Amino acid sequence: MSDYDAIIVGAGPAGSTTARRAAQAGLRVVLVDKAKFPRDKPCAGGIRHFVTELLDFDPKETLHRRISGLALFSPSGFRVDCVPQDRSKPGYTVMREQFDNLLFQKAVEAGAETKEETRITKVDQQLDRVVATTSENETISAKFIVGADGINSIVAKELGFYRGWEGKTAGVAIEMEAEVGASKVREICGEPGGYDAELLLLWFGDLPNGYIWCFPKRSVLSLGAWCRQDITQDIRGTFNKWFAKFKAQYSIDPEIVSDSGARFPIVPAEEIAKGRALLVGDAAGFVDAFTGEGIPYAIHSGIVAGSVLKDAVKDPRLLSNYREQCRKTIISDLMVSSSMASLFYKRTKNMETLCQFFRDDSYANYLIAALLGGLLTPKAVKTKLTRRIVRKRPGAAVSLLV
Ligand SMILES: Cc1cc2nc3c(=O)[nH]c(=O)nc-3n(C[C@H](O)[C@H](O)[C@H](O)COP(=O)(O)OP(=O)(O)OC[C@H]3O[C@@H](n4cnc5c(N)ncnc54)[C@H](O)[C@@H]3O)c2cc1C
């Protein structure tokens, strides 16, 4: 006899969503995290409108700024603003400590049991159940286990899904929060033209595969840089040089309230459902290789996992449906982003050519804005952008590939 229907290891967006959905379906679930909530997590905290559509509650108490679009800075230094005319689907920024805590509380509210400050160190799969062992040597058993424990997933490693994220399969990021005051946030990130919304600012070209960012929160800026881990050279030094110029440009000398770093995967894991286990969120490699976003996919995979677990408690063979459902939705979007990333980040010249195209061609600019605004899918944007550049700038299109 197992203690639970499912053990969910990790209570980030992926784990808390899985736990909420499974508990709502009547399953006995336990959500285990090594941290005590509220806990922080290094993150720029940008979320698309789509995230608010996925949630079955209103996260408005945790939303800091309304985001209408992007300001892209090309390697040579010009700026291109991509803002959709249709402002019905703004993005938002959040502080992860607040946002993740809300998701965690929503899992509790739905009936999930929780164990905080509990690190899972061992997972053993038996014929009819899984047994997880904690660092205190306690055991928890369940019919199923879900690895929602991020890039260093112990569930994935213990159950032989993969060994780790090496070479070009992961990105490395540094992130700091700088207190500048609400009016400075507005001055730096406010959308030109007097609209009551902010932009996410991205600088390309300083790093070979990634970007430097400035995202607005209420009175704080999230500033950071990410790069594919196998080709990054001195990300901290590159960021510091950029930061010195940024501070001079805006006449600021902010208090740094946090400064940390983390890695994230940028390739979906080959196996995400096996035996009595599922992987969700970062543990499954569900992060966009172009933008570095993982929150939408963490929540989406949690929703799929919750629904699959509901069926699997009646028939364990149905657990494998998770693979197919993720393939059709999350993985197919991530593959499109990955191919866009390969072309965009191939070399600095490609980043410059594409930024020029987004600046000079209003339809291409609209497509980038619509992608951010969730008005078009990544697949639709990729197809339309490819056709557009081939038709309007055939020379540039060829130069991107060679
Ligand atoms: C610097 C940075 C900036 C980012 N910016 C953005 C952004 O702007 N927008 C966006 O969409 N995405 C962003 N991401 C990606 C995003 O943070 C992740 O994709 C997202 O957090 C994944 O959620 P998750 O629930 O899978 O994992 P996590 O949020 O990493 O949660 C995993 C949880 O598992 C717990 N855990 C780990 N191991 C164990 C264990 N052995 N036992 C018990 N508990 C354990 C941890 O304590 C943690 O709470 C960024 C990432 C980084 C590093």
- Using the mean position of ligand 1's atoms as its centre, give its distance from the Cα of residue 293 in Å: 11
- Tell me which of 8, 20, 34 to substitute to probe ligand 1's pocket, judged by most ligand atoms within 8 Å of the beta carbon: 34
The answer, yes or no, to whether any atom of ligand 1 lies below 6 A from the CB of 165, is no
What's the pLDDT at 2?
73
In a domain, 57, yes or no: no
CA–CA separation, 340 vs 381, rounded Å?
10
Arithmetic mean of pLDDT, 4-9:
98
The answer, yes or no, to whether any atom of ligand 1 lies below 6 A from the CB of 389, is no
What's the pLDDT at 1?
64
- Using the mean position of ligand 1's atoms as its centre, give its distance from the Cα of residue 282 in Å: 7
Answer for the pair 273, 144: CB distance below 8 angstroms, yes or no.
Answer: no
- Using the mean position of ligand 1's atoms as its centre, give its distance from the Cα of residue 356 in Å: 34
- Using the mean position of ligand 1's atoms as its centre, give its distance from the Cα of residue 255 in Å: 25
pTM of model > 0.95: yes
Arithmetic mean of pLDDT, 212-234:
97
Residues with Cβ within 8 Å of residue 341, at least 6 apart in sequence = 209, 266, 289, 290
**Are residues 28 and 149 both part of a single domain?**
yes
The answer, yes or no, to whether any atom of ligand 1 lies below 6 A from the CB of 155, is no
In a domain, 54, yes or no: no
The answer, yes or no, to whether any atom of ligand 1 lies below 6 A from the CB of 46, is yes
**Are residues 178 and 240 both part of a single domain?**
yes
**For the domain that residue 18 is a member of, what is the CATH number?**
3.50.50.60
**Are residues 284 and 227 both part of a single domain?**
no
**Are residues 79 and 217 both part of a single domain?**
yes
**Are residues 244 and 294 both part of a single domain?**
no
CA–CA separation, 13 vs 386, rounded Å?
33
Interval 267-322: pLDDT, tens: 999 999 999 999 999 999 999 999 999 999 999 999 999 999 999 999 999 999 99
The more confidently predicted of residues 154 and 233 is 154
**Are residues 34 and 134 both part of a single domain?**
yes
**Are residues 368 and 225 both part of a single domain?**
no
In a domain, 116, yes or no: yes
210: left (phi over 0), alpha (psi -120 to 50) or beta: left
In a domain, 51, yes or no: no
What's the pLDDT at 373?
75
What's the pLDDT at 146?
98
Question: Measured from the CA of 33, which atom of ligand 1 is nearest?
Answer: 44
In a domain, 50, yes or no: no
What's the pLDDT at 332?
95
Question: Which range of residues forms the domain containing residue 344?
Answer: 340-401
**For the domain that residue 232 is a member of, what is the CATH number?**
3.30.9.10
Interval 224-265: pLDDT, tens: 999 999 999 899 999 999 999 999 999 999 999 999 999 999
What's the pLDDT at 85?
85
Q: Given pLDDT bands bounded at 50, 70 and 90, which one contains residue 336?
A: very high
In a domain, 323, yes or no: yes
**Domain C-terminal end among 265, 287, 305:** 265
Question: Measured from the CA of 295, which atom of ligand 1 is nearest?
Answer: 11
How many structural domains comprise the chain? 3
Say yes or no to pLDDT of 87 above 80: yes
Arithmetic mean of pLDDT, 179-194:
95
Answer for the pair 267, 162: CB distance below 8 angstroms, yes or no.
Answer: no
